[in-house]
Structure formats: structure tokens, C-alpha cells
Chains A and B, each alone.
Chain A
Amino acid sequence: MRRLSLLALATVMLLIGLSPVGASTIAREAEILLVAHPDVNTRQLNRDTTRAIFAMRQRTWPDGQAVRVFVLDNSHPVHARFAKEQLTVYPHQLQLAWDRMVFSGTGQAPDRVRNQAEMRERIAATPGALGYLEREYLDDRVQVISME
């Protein structure tokens, strides 16, 4: 009997133990923000310009500074969410757009980073850099760009 209740307790604990995983899944749905190098003068981008920059069609910030675009892998969940929710394009469409630019002489590919920590480091170190991060990865070496 005691064993049974222990088992029951263990089961309950396991179930509870699972819930933080559930919670972190929800946490992973945290807001994704546009992030830039601190020297960038632009504070705000509209969605069309943001999309044009991430599609690598527009190569400069509105004030003329060269923009360097950083992205996570196509299969990274944060990349997929950023593309779909903020840019309203699908990751495979973005990839095709980059391939068409790169292989037709009309543009370049964005710089790839492996994870959000690397994204933050590269943005902080690269003048003109633009990327995206979940809020928990922000620090004072990068600035948030608001999107209309």
C-alpha cells in the first residue's frame, strides 16, 4: 500500500515535473524583438521595410548606413516564428528569395548564426547589424528596434 502511494506520489511528481517543461514551451513562445547594433540611428522600421531587408532586397538602413542581416537556421523555431509572425513570410520562401538573389547577382545571403547567444554577440560586434532575439536574450550591448 505504502509502495503504491509512493508510486502514486512519484507519478504525480513526474507529472508536475513535466509541467515546467510545458511552462518553458510557453516561455519559448516569448515575444521576438528586432535587434540592432547600438550605433544604428534608426529606431523604428515598418513591416514592409523589415521584410525587404530580411529578404536581402534592401541593403541599407533608411538613413543610408549599410545593413548586415543575421539569421538563425531555417529549422530553428525562433527563426520560423520570426518569419511567420513578424515578417508574414514562410522560412522556405525566404530561403528561396536568398537563393535567387545569390545566384542571379542581385544580392547577398544573410549571415547565419547558430543560436541566440551568438546572434547577440554578432549584433553587438557588427556595425549596422540587424537580427532578432527573444526578450530574455537582450542585454545593453544591443538595441531594440520597434516595428510598426
Chain B
Amino acid sequence: MIVSKSFRWSDPRSIFAMAAALVLGFSAQARSDEGVLDTLQMHGFLSQALIITDDNNFFGPSSESQGSLKFTEIGANASLRPHEDVLLAAQVLSRRAGGDGSDARPVLDYGVVDYQMLSNQQRTFGVQVGRFKNPFGFYNQTRDVAFTRPSILLPQSIYFDRTRSLALSGDGVSLYHDERLSRGSLRTQIGVGQVQAGDDLRQTLRLDSVPGSLDPKRSAIGQIRYEHDGGRIVAAISAASANARFNSSMPGLSDGDFYFTPWVLSLQYNAENWSLTGEYALRNSGLENFNNPAFNFDVTGESWYVQYTRRFDENWQWLIRYDHLISNRDDRSGEAFEASGAGPAHSQFAKDMTLGLQWNLNPRVMMAAEYHHVNGTGWLPIQDNPDPSETSRRWNMLLFQLSLRF
């Protein structure tokens, strides 16, 4: 059921059908074995932010006097272990990030059957089938859950919204392997499946006004992660190859192919009360095979950040981060881009200095505030700023967020 490629996850009826099937399946199981229902867990979260900018809009009309409240994340999940080697887990997510209400339509975030075929003192090996979360960098798998983020916004140079749908999850098969070494553990994950190719991607590729459809093709993602000494040092390398085909219905324009091959190197040092984190990404992407060469392109972007977080007084944490995005390594200043008439130079980079504060009032409630000073608009959402020539190069942003969970 979950592997079926024609299954329409985004269709609410499908979600309902699946939920009903799972509940029926669960209750049938539960009758046969009371212990199974003991393993049922349900969790959820809700986050609401207020965003205020002096210039440019981020997730809604943030530069207007009242700021923007259009950043809301709501999720709920359930998991169950019907057998000692099997985990069933699914999460529904509703996320609004600047768009109108339809943005917040609930979608299936993940839905997997996880089978751990080998598990002993030396290693664990398992497989996930269904819609699995992509292991990419340190934060991608839970990027929408405020409690797992060090700040309200993740470093946008790597976790930006423009190609969010591509990064989120895959529909297919993912294998994972945990090997315990003398001083640490090595975790490898490889996933193959279809990515999501949403409207965000089409807009980013400037194909939103071209008649046709952008359809996902087979893609792959992999991560190798080493944790030393109980997680004091964590190092990871992630790579992905995401693909989609644009089926043109514009007279005279052929079909074309989209490719995206990002690499991320991640490093973290954890002490009792502070962590130092850095990630570096190279993002190669392009369109090819269009008969009109004006559509084809190939660029490599570069992203990195360095982040220091400090815990204090048990329930507080502050953060300082420098985050740097270059859209095209061959045109770091964006001058060639501007000279070509495509848009302002400052849309080709973003240098973001962030200060943040988090307060866990109790294990279920968190409040956070942060300040960004940004030079460049490289990751500014296009839907919030339809005319790039009207954006300001230097801008400031304040965010406040309340998060709850159960």
C-alpha cells in the first residue's frame, strides 16, 4: 500500500483511507496481542511565529507595520511496533510559510514500514519502505519541528525554502546501517525513490509561467555519519541526486530535465553546555535538454555556516551564527547576473549574521526570539518578493516564536 507509486499522498482522501486502514490494522492486531497496543505512541507539535522586517518580506507581509504571523507549523504522528523487528510510523504536517491558507493543507510528511532485520551488540541493519525523510545535513529530517532546531530559522543558506519540496522526503526504499566501533559509531543511510517537485521548485526554476508539468523522477540520497565518544564529535557527509522532468505543453518548446546534486559536509563538537557546529555545501543544479537554449543552465552554488550555541541556567540557550550563501560560484558578487539584465546583483548572495535565544519554560513549551542582519537576498522567498528589483540589499529581521508539543 505504502510503496504504490501512483498513490496520491497529497490527496486528503488517500490520507484518510490510509489512516483508516492503519487504525483497522492496528485494532485487529491489538485484539490478537495486547502488548502491541502498548507500543502505540502519538506525538505532535505546534509553532507560531511573528516575523518583523525593515525591508523585504519573509514568510508573509513582514515589512508592514504589524509584521507577519504567516509562519505556522503543526504536525502529529503515530508509531507502533506490531512485531519486535517492525516499526510503523506516519506523520501529517500542516505548514504555512507566507502563503495563503491553502498553503497549510495537511500533507503526509512521512509514512514508513521500518524493518530491522539485524540487530546485535555490533551492528544494526534495517530498511524503510514508504515515504521516508531525507537524511541531509544535520537538520533536514526534522526541519519543521521547532524543538529540534537550534534557532527559529535553520541556516537558510542550506535549509532554504526555494527547493524545500525536493529536500523533504522520498517515496521509495531507504536502507540504514549502524556499525559500533571501538570509540564511536558509524551510521550509513541510502535512499532511492521519487522526490517531491512542488510549486516552490517550479517558481525557483522560473518555469511557473511556462505551460506544462514538472514531474519527479527517480532520485537518490545518502549519508555517512560518524559519532565519536557518545556524540562529543559528530561528522557527516551527505549527497543527493534529485531529478525531475518538465513536460512542456508550450508550442515549440521541447521537454527538459532538471537535476540537482548537492553535497554537504557537517561537523559538530558537543560539550556539556555548548556546541560548535559548521556545515559546508556545494549545490550543483541545472536544466538541460530544452530545445530553446535560453531555458538550459548549469550553476553551482556554495553555502556554509558556523554556529555556536551555549546553554545556561538549565532551560535557556543562546546562539550566534554566521551563514553565507553564494548562488553561483562563477559569479560570487552577482555582477555578471546583473549585467545580463536578469536581476539585481544582491539576489545572488546572502550573508546572514544571527543572534538567537531559546527558553524552555517546561518540557512542552518553548519560546524563542532571534535577530538577523542580512546582506543580500539570495534565499529570500520569491513568492513574498515577486519583483526582485524592489528588494533591498541590506535588511534586518526579528522573529518571535512560541512552540508547544505533546
A contact residues vs B (CB 8 Å cutoff):
45-46, 48-49, 51-52, 57-60, 62, 64-66, 68, 73-75, 87-90, 92-93, 96-97, 99-100, 102-109, 126-127
Contact = CB atoms under 8 A, between A and B. Distances in A.
B68 to A, nearest CB: 25
Interface of B: 35, 38-39, 41, 43, 45, 75, 77, 79, 81, 84-85, 87, 89-91, 110-112, 114, 116, 119-121, 124, 128, 132-133, 141-142, 145, 147-148, 176, 178, 180, 185, 229-231, 270, 272, 311, 314, 363
A88 B230 contact: yes
B231 A89 contact: yes
B385 to A, nearest CB: 30
Nearest to B80: A108
Contacts of A105: 77, 79, 89-91, 110-112, 114, 128, 132-133
29 contacts: A45-B121, A46-B121, A46-B180, A48-B121, A48-B180, A49-B180, A59-B87, A60-B85, A64-B85, A64-B119, A68-B39, A75-B314, A88-B229, A89-B230, A90-B270, A100-B141, A100-B148, A102-B79, A103-B43, A103-B141, A104-B110, A105-B79, A105-B110, A106-B114, A106-B128, A106-B141, A108-B79, A108-B87, A127-B35
Contacts, number: 109
Contacts of A66: 81, 84
A99 B84 contact: no
A52 B142 contact: no
B362 to A, nearest CB: 10
Contact of B84 (A62, A64, A73): A64
A60 B116 contact: yes
Contacts of A107: 79, 87
Nearest to B144: A103
